[in-house]
Every structure is written in structure tokens, then in C-alpha cells.
Amino acid sequence: MRTTVTQVGNSTGVILPKEVVARLKLKKGDSLFLTETPDGYMITPYDPEFEEQMGAAHRGMAKYRNALHELAGK
């Protein structure tokens, strides 16, 4: 899909086609994250660093499940 870089006030912006906005479930004011990949850039509404941190948290919770269970007093 092709889009154009345009002037937006004193900034530069990209206008996303409404099909892309709908597919990404975006609304006005949402943030997008750009991640450089070997093939170019990936645009996503999800913060890849946050996803990585949550994955680490889930692995830690799984590894220390018994200790966390004891600390919770259950």
C-alpha cells in the first residue's frame, strides 16, 4: 500500500488510508511505534519494548510460581 509524506503545519506527516487505520484499530490521538527491521520499518500500535518486558515478566512469574504463591499467602 502506498502513502505520501506531507507537510502538516511545521511538521512532516504521513496520512494513513482509512483501511489501515481500521485494521490497526486506531483512533485520533493514538500512538504508533516504528521499529527498524532488516527489511525496513514496521509500524505498529503496540510498544515492542513493553511487549518484550511483559514477556520477561511472564517467564519470571512462571519460573518462580511457587515462591510467588507463597508470598501471596495462598
**Per-residue buried b or exposed e for 22-44, using 16+ beta carbons within 10 Å of the residue's own CB:** eeeeeeeeeeeeeeeeeeeeeee
pTM: 0.53
Among residues 51, 40, 44, which one has the least CA distance to residue 30? 44
Return the ∠ at Cα 50 (arms to 46 and 54), rounded to 5°: 115
Segment among 14-23, 44-53, 58-67 with least mean pLDDT:
44-53
Per-residue pLDDT, 60: 86
Domain count, the chain: 1
- Whether 49 has a pLDDT exceeding 70, the answer reads yes
Per-residue pLDDT, 74: 62
Residue ranges making up the domain that contains 44: 5-72
Mean pLDDT of 22-34: 90
Per-residue pLDDT, 69: 86
